[in-house]
């Protein structure tokens, strides 16, 4: 069973209480369960993590690159300004799908720019928790295409 990291940046641990009109009422534990169940159904093992610390996220991205581990990444606010996260993603050795619960392009102007999109395999945004399901499906397909 192939491993995949599902990495989440700042404030995503507050799902359910943080702006439910934007991010929904389900909490991070529900997202974790959905990712693990979806991954299992696809023949993957999902390691789901969340941090509010940029340095910790960087170490996880380095771990994924060193281990050739695919990643589903919601960089959250780091999407828009963290060149350190962008540079860590550029070192990837397996597919990396950028995900967002909301559609950043339909929100405030400062959210329109992603500094990480250009080094990700692809981006899925605006589908709530379904964004993660779609990203895990994409990872499974990409791994199957590459024979992994």
Which domains can be identified in the chain, with CATH numbers?
2-146 (3.40.50.9100)
Give the DSSP letter of residue 55: H
Hey, what are 133's tokens?
């399901």
Amino acid 26: pLDDT: 67
User: Which pLDDT belongs to residue 102?
Assistant: 81
Alpha carbon of 115 to those of 75, 88, 103: distances in Å?
10, 12, 15
Q: Is 100 a catalytic residue?
A: yes
Residue 144, pLDDT score = 95
Q: Which member of 45, 62, 81, 100 is catalytic?
A: 100
Q: What is the pLDDT of residues 61-82, one digit of tens each?
A: 999 999 999 999 999 999 988 9
Asked about 23 being catalytic, the answer comes back as yes
Question: Greatest CA span in the chain, whole angstroms?
Answer: 41
Predicted confidence at residue 106, as pLDDT, reads 58
CA distances from 64 to 28, 30, 72, 91, 112 (A): 22, 24, 11, 9, 27
Q: Give the global pTM.
A: 0.92
Residue among 23, 62, 81, 132 flagged as catalytic: 23
């Amino acid at each position: 069973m192939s491993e995949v990291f599902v990495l989440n940046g700042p404030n995503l641990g507050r799902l359910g209480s943080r702006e439910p009109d934007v991010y929904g009422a389900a909490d991070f534990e529900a997202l974790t369960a959905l990712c693990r169940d979806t991954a299992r159904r696809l023949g993957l093992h999902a390691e789901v993590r969340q941090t509010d610390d940029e340095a910790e996220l960087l170490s996880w991205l380095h771990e994924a690159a060193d281990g050739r581990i695919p990643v589903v990444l919601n960089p959250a606010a780091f999407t828009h300004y963290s060149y350190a996260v962008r540079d860590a993603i550029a070192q990837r050795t397996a597919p990396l799908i950028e995900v967002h619960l909301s559609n950043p392009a339909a929100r405030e102007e400062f959210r329109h720019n992603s500094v990480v999109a250009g080094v990700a395999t692809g981006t899925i945004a605006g589908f709530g928790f379904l964004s993660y399901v779609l990203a895990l499906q994409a990872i499974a397909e990409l791994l199957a295409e590459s024979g992994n």
